[in-house]
Amino acid sequence: MFKKTSDKSQIDMFSLPNFFLSDRSERFYGEEASWHNLFMTQVTLRVEESLFEPLYSKETGSPNASVRIMVAMMILKEANRWSDSQLFEQCRFNLLVRRALGLLNIDDPIPSESTCSCSGSERIVEHERQGNPNLLEETFTAVTKGQAQEFQVSGRSIRMDSKLLGSNIA
């Protein structure tokens, strides 16, 4: 059964990692320009979960794990060339990876290995084999479109330093 992830995470002051970090570490952990906070705001929170609704039963089954977190985990896995076991180790114990996934409390659960490896990616592939659109491609398009709008990027003009016209002159 499809269930959308809540946009508002319940913050527990006893399980926030900030309280366990030194001042310098806490500043880095909370800095908006740090990779983990940028990934959370620019990727994880931009994943449109409703695209994945056709993968789940409407009548039966328990609610799905957070699609947003599972897609973000797939991206981190591929970007860092992690194996499944490395991915889950990082998601369990690396505070920066947990923050990038939007897991703000230290005791926020991650999707189980069986949910991510078996049902997640196999359902996406099977959905596409049935002639449906590629859900990950649609997700990346939506994420990129949202980023382009936020940063006011348009493709109407091309800067000359971006063209590589004279890349072999030297």
pLDDT of the residue at 31: 96
pLDDT of the residue at 28: 95
pLDDT of the residue at 165: 57
Report the sign of the C-alpha dihedral through residues 20, 14, 38, 120, in that order.
Answer: positive
pLDDT of the residue at 121: 76
Helices 84-93, 67-80: inter-axial angle, 10-degree rounding: 120
Boundaries of every domain in the chain = 17-136
Q: Hey, what are 109's tokens?
A: 């659960």
CB of 110 closer than 8 Å to CB of 91: yes
pLDDT of the residue at 144: 92
In SS3 terms, 48-72 reads as: CHHHHHHHCCCCCCCCCCCHHHHHH
pLDDT of the residue at 93: 96
pLDDT of the residue at 16: 86
In terms of phi and psi (left: phi > 0; alpha: psi -120 to 50; beta: otherwise), the region of 81 is left
Q: What is the pLDDT along the chain (170 residues), one digit of tens a residue?
A: 777 887 666 777 778 888 889 999 999 999 999 999 999 999 999 999 999 988 888 877 767 788 999 999 999 999 999 999 999 999 999 999 999 999 999 999 999 888 776 456 788 888 899 999 999 999 999 999 999 999 988 777 766 665 665 555 55
pLDDT of the residue at 69: 94
pLDDT of the residue at 10: 74
